Amino acid sequence: MAWIKRHLISFAAIAVLVYMLVPNVVVAAFSFNDPKGKYNYNFNEFSAAAWTNPCGAQGICESLGLSLQIGVIASLTATVLGTMIAFALGRYRFRGRSATNLLIFMPMATPEVVMGSSLLTLFLMLGVPSGRTAILIAHIMFCVSFVVVAVKARVATLDPKLEEAAADLGANPTQTFLRVTLPLAAPGIAAGALLAFSLSFDDYIITNFNASPSSITFPMYVWGASARGVPVQVYVIGTVMFVLTLVVVMTGQLISSRRNRQVA
Amino acid sequence: MAEAAVLSTGSSAPPTRRRRNWVPYALLLPGLLWLVVFFVLPMVTLASQSLQEGNVDDGYTFTGNVGIYVDALKQYWPQFVRSFLYAGTATVLALLLGYPLAYFIAQKAGRYKNLVLVLVIAPFFTSFLIRTLAWRTILSDDWFVTTWAQKLHITDLLQAVGLTANDSLLSSKFAVIMGLTYNFLPFMILPLYTSLERLDPRLIEAAGDLYASPWQTFRKVTWPLSLPGVVAGTLLTFIPAAGDFINARLLGNTQTTMIGSVIDSQFLRVLDYPLAAALSFILLIVIVTMVSVYVRRAGTEELL
Amino acid sequence: MSKQQGKGDLGLVALTKSFATFTAVHPLDLVVPQGSFFALLGPSGCGKTTTLRMIAGLEEPTSGRIRIGDSDITDTKAYQRNVNTVFQSYALFPHMSVLDNVMFGLRRRGDKDAKAKAKEVLELVQLEQVASKKPTQLSGGMQQRVALARALVNRPDVLLLDEPLGALDLKLRRQMQIELKRIQQEVGLTFIHVTHDQEEAMTMADSIAVMNAGRLEQLGDPATLYEQPRSTFVANFLGQSNLLRATVNPGGTDHVVTVRAHDTDLEVSREHLPEGVRDVWLGVRPEKLRLGEGGGPNQLRGIVRDVSFSGVATQYSVQMPWGQELIVVQQNDGTARAVLGETVTVSWAAQHGFALDASQDAEAGAELVDDHG
C-alpha cells in the first residue's frame, strides 16, 4: 500500500500516457482491417490489402503529396523568417522590441478560425484566388511565431562571448555567423522547422478557408472522407507517420546521447 | 618605464564612429512584414467586412452597420457560451492530467525521460483528424469502452450530470470535451515539462526537511515555481480549443455546436460574410480580452 | 608626457569609455612596452576589463586612440586586429575539437601550416594528447590552457588575458601562474593580464597599472608599488597597511624628516614623503613592524588585543592609547612572542615608512581586497 502511494504520480503519468497513445494504437490496428461496409468503425477481418496498395483510395496520394509539398515550402520559409526574427530579438537591442514581441505572440493567441476567416476576407478584397498560394501564405504566417519561440529559446542560451572570441580570432561577421553562431543555434532551428512542418501538415481549419477544389490537402481529404466513409489507406498513412516520427526522433536522440556520452 | 605612462585628464580625441544599428531591423523586416500583411491587415479587413452590407453576387458596400454585432450575439450567444465552457473545462482537465505526466517526465522518468517525451510529441505528427476519428471508434456503442462504462454505471452518472443524453458515449458533450482535452494535451504538457524540468529537486527535499508534508510541499514550492508553465500551457490549450470545431463535429451532436463551426459554415456554406466576419471578430475580441486579463493576473507578461 | 613608443609597443592615448549613465574609463594614457608582462589590477568595476575590451576591439572607445607601434588601430574591427584574448570563461567553441579551436584563428587568415602550428602550440601547453577531444571533455585547467593556446598560436602583437585564472582553484591557479610566466618568457609576446588579485599581479607581472573608478592610480614594478604606494588606495589594495594620522615637522635632514603622530615624533625617509604636504598619513606595512625595540627609532606602546597564528607567521593586533589597532606580522623565527593583554612596544625603521597626502580616505581600497588572492 505504501509502495502504491509512493508511486502514485508514476501510475497517474502512465495512465495519462496510455490515454494519449490509445488512438494511435487503434489507428494502427484498423489499418489492417477489412471493413464490412464503407465505415471503418468495427474490426471485421485482418487484411494487409491497404498496406500493399496505400494509394488505392482515389485522390489520397495526390492530397498527401500536396500536403508534403506545402509543409516543406511553408516550414522552410517560416524557418528562415522566424530565425531572422529570433536572432534580432536574441542578439540586438533596438527600439520597438515589445511591439515586436506582441506581434509574434498574437498569432499564437488567435484562434485558427479567426485567422483563417480574416485571411479569407483579405483575399476576397484583394481578389487573390483561393488555392495553393493562398494556403502557403496562411501556413507561413501561423508557423513563423512558433519558429521564433523555438529558435529564441536556443539563442538565449548561447554565450555571446563565443561570437566575441570568433571575432577576436579574426573571423569576420559572416564567418562568425557561419562557423560559430549557426552551428550552435542549429538544434533550435531544427526544432522550429520540425514544429512548423507538423503544424502546416496537420492544419485543417485555416487551410479550409483558403483552399479551392483543386487544392485538397491531406487533412481536407480526411475530413471529406469522414462524412462518406474513411478508406483504410488513411489509417495506413496515419500509422506510417507515427512510426516514422518515432524512428526519426529516437535516432536523433540516440545520436545526441551517444555524443553526450563521449563528452561525459 | 613608470614614466612612460602618465595620468591625463585634459587631453581629448575625436569621437569614434557610431555602430551601425540597422542590422536588427533588416533581420526583422521580412518576417514582420509578412505578419503585418497576412495577420494584422486581415484583422482590419475582417472588421471592415463585418460592417458591410450586400451579397456575394452583387458585391458589398461599407455601411458601418454596427447592428450586425447585436444580431450576431443575439442569435449565437449559446454557441459562444458553450465554446468557452467546453474549452475551459477541457483546459482544467488537461491541466489535471498533464501535470502528473509532466512532473513524471521532468523529475521521475530518469533514463526513460527521452522515450516518454518522444511518446508525448509523436502523436503531434500523426494527423489530428485521424486520431479524432479513432476516438469515434473507441467510443462507439459496440466497443468494450461503452459496454464497460454501462456495466459500471458510468454512463448513468454522465447522464445524471447532463454530459450525455443516453446510454452511448459518442455524440455527446462528454465526447466533445474529452476530445478537446485529448487533442490539446501535448500543448499543456510541453510548457509544464519545461518549467518543471528547471525545478531543482533539492528544493523539494529542503521543503520536506523543513517539515512540509508532500501536499504542502506541492502547494508552497512545486506549484508556484511551475506557474510560468501553467500559464503558458493553459493559454496554449484554451485558445485553440475555444475556436475548434473539429471535435464538436466529429464527436458531438447538433446540441454541441461550437462557435468555430458557425463561423466556418457562415463563411463557406451560407456565404453571409458580414455576419461571419462579425462572429469571428467577436471571438477574437473576447479571447484577446480574456488572455490579457489572465496574463496580467498571473503576473507573467513575458511569455515568449 | 613621454610619448616615445617602440615599434611594437601598445599605446593608449586619452582612451575614454562612457556609457549612458557613467564613465567607465576616464581619459587613460598608457604605454605597454613590447614583450612585457603587464598587469591591469583593480577591483571589479574599476574599468580594467573595459580597457581590455577596447584594446581587443570588442568595445568602441568614446574617444581616444589605440596604437600598436606606428599604426593606429582604433578604427579597426576586432577581427582585423592582430590582438588576441584569453577570455575569462575561456569561450571555447563547444562544437569543435580542441585542435579545431586552436586552428580557428590561423584558418581565418588562410594559413597553410595551421595544423602543424596548432600542434606545436598544443605541445607548448602540454595538451597534444587531447587534440581530438571536445572542450567540454576537459578539466577547467586544461580548458584554460586550450584558450591560451588558441590565442598564442596566432602570435598576436598583444595577448590579452581577462582574469584567466579566476575559475581555477587555488592550487591550480598557483601552478598556472608559473606556467603562464614561463610561456610568456618562451614566446616573448606582450601579455596584458587583467586581474583583481593583487598577489597574482605581483607574482607574474613586470609592471602593474593599478586602476580605481575608471582612473589609473599608480603604475610601476611590483616592488615599487608595494614599498612606495602613492595613494591610500594602492597602500590598502596591494597588501595591508597601518596608516597613522600625522603632521610634518619643519626641518629634518636630507634623508630623514620627522612627523608628529598622536604626540609622538616619528621618522620617515624624505624620499617617501610627497612634496609640499603638511598633513599626512604615515603608512607602514605589518611585516615591517617589530615587537620590541629592535625595529628602529620609531616606537609606540600598546596592548595586544588579538593573536592569530598561521604557521610561518603570527599576526598581532596591538591597540594604541588613542584606540587605533595596528596590525603586526611577525615571522615565527624563534623571536619572542607576545600574549593576549600584554603591553608591548612596536618599532620600525625610518626607510620602512611612507607618507601619503592626508586629504585621502584612509580606508580607500581596503574593503575591496578579497581573501582568495
Q: Which domains does chain B have, with CATH numbers?
A: 79-201+230-298 (1.10.3720.10)
Q: Quick check: B251 and A72 in contact, CB under 8 A?
A: no
A39 and A81 share a domain? no
Q: Quick check: B242 and B96 in contact, CB under 8 A?
A: no
Q: Give the relative orientation of helices C114-124 and C170-187 as an angle to the nearest 10 degrees.
A: 130
Taking contacts as CB-CB distances below 8 angstroms, the residues of chain C near B10 are: 27
Give the list of residues 6+ apart from residue C267 with CB closer than 8 angstroms, or none: C256, C257, C258, C259, C296, C297, C298, C350, C353
Homologous superfamily of the C233-368 domain (CATH): Nucleic acid-binding proteins (2.40.50.140)
A113 and A242 share a domain? no
A89 and A202 share a domain? yes
For residue B258, give how far its alpha carbon lies from the nearest alpha carbon of chain C (Å): 50
The 10s digit of each residue's pLDDT in C239-258 is: 889 999 999 988 888 888 99
Q: Which residues pair with C233 in a beta bridge?
A: none
pLDDT, position C39: 94
Q: Which fold has domain C10-227?
A: Rossmann fold (3.40.50)
Look at strands C298-309 and C290-291 and give their pairing: unpaired
For the ranges B3-12, B104-113, B261-270, C300-309, the lowest mean pLDDT is seen at: B3-12
Q: In C49-189, where do the E strands start and end?
A: 63-68, 71-72, 83-86, 158-162
| Yes or no, beta carbons of B21 and A94 under 8 Å apart | yes
Rounded to an integer, the average pLDDT of B117-125 is: 82
* Most confident of the ranges A16-25, A133-142, C164-173: A133-142
pLDDT, position B1: 34
Look at A5 and A108; give whichever has higher pLDDT: A108
pLDDT, position C115: 92
| Yes or no, beta carbons of B5 and C27 under 8 Å apart | no
- 3-state class (DSSP) for residue C255: coil
Rounded to an integer, the average pLDDT of B48-54 is: 90
Does the structure show a pLDDT above 70 at A37? no
- 3-state class (DSSP) for residue A7: coil
pLDDT, position A1: 66
Count of domains forming chain A: 2
Look at A255 and C176; give whichever has higher pLDDT: C176
The domain ranges of chain C are 10-227, 233-368
For residue B2, name the pLDDT band (cuts at 50, 70, 90).
very low
For the ranges A16-25, A27-36, C262-271, the lowest mean pLDDT is seen at: A27-36
Rounded to an integer, the average pLDDT of C312-333 is: 92
A70 and A95 share a domain? yes
| Yes or no, beta carbons of B45 and A122 under 8 Å apart | yes
Taking contacts as CB-CB distances below 8 angstroms, the residues of chain B near A239 are: 126
pLDDT, position B20: 57
Mutate to test the interface with B, among A83, A98, A118 (most CBs of B within 10 A): A118
pLDDT, position C369: 60
Rounded to an integer, the average pLDDT of C161-184 is: 86
For residue C361, give how far its alpha carbon lies from the nearest alpha carbon of chain B (Å): 20
Residue of chain A nearest B182, judged by CA positions: A20
Write the residue in A171, A173, A184 that is nearest to C108 by C-beta.
Answer: A171
Rounded to an integer, the average pLDDT of B76-101 is: 95
Rounded to an integer, the average pLDDT of C78-83 is: 91
pLDDT, position A92: 84
Look at B297 and A171; give whichever has higher pLDDT: A171
A158 and A236 share a domain? no
Rounded to an integer, the average pLDDT of B179-197 is: 92
A185 and A247 share a domain? no
For residue C6, name the pLDDT band (cuts at 50, 70, 90).
low
A241 and A125 share a domain? no
For residue B182, give how far its alpha carbon lies from the nearest alpha carbon of chain A (Å): 7
For residue C286, name the pLDDT band (cuts at 50, 70, 90).
very high
Taking contacts as CB-CB distances below 8 angstroms, the residues of chain A near C93 are: 162, 165-166, 180
Q: Which of A74, A69, A210 is nearest to A129 (CA)?
A: A210
Rounded to an integer, the average pLDDT of B221-250 is: 91
C65: alpha, beta or left? (left if phi > 0; alpha if psi -120 to 50): beta
A20 and A70 share a domain? no
The 10s digit of each residue's pLDDT in B12-43 is: 333 333 455 788 899 999 999 999 999 999 99
A204 and A223 share a domain? yes
Rounded to an integer, the average pLDDT of B250-278 is: 91
For residue C85, give how far its alpha carbon lies from the nearest alpha carbon of chain A (Å): 7
Look at B33 and C372; give whichever has higher pLDDT: B33
Question: Sheet harboring C37-41: ordered strands across?
Answer: C83-86, C158-162, C190-195, C37-41, C207-212, C215-220
The 10s digit of each residue's pLDDT in C196-218 is: 988 899 989 999 999 999 999 99
Q: Which domain holds residue A250?
A: 1-54+232-264
A108 and A137 share a domain? yes
For residue B118, name the pLDDT band (cuts at 50, 70, 90).
confident
pLDDT above 90: percentage of residues in chain C: 59
pLDDT, position A41: 67
For residue A261, the tally of other CB atoms under 10 A from its CB is: 8
pLDDT, position B217: 87
Task: Give the mean pLDDT of chain C.
Answer: 89
For residue B303, name the pLDDT band (cuts at 50, 70, 90).
very low
Task: Give the mean pLDDT of chain B.
Answer: 85
User: What is this model's ipTM?
Assistant: 0.89
C interface with B, Cβ–Cβ below 8 Å: 1-2, 4, 13-14, 16, 26-31, 33, 60-65, 74-75, 207, 209, 215-216, 219-221, 224
Rounded to 5°, the CA angle A216-A220-A226 comes to 130
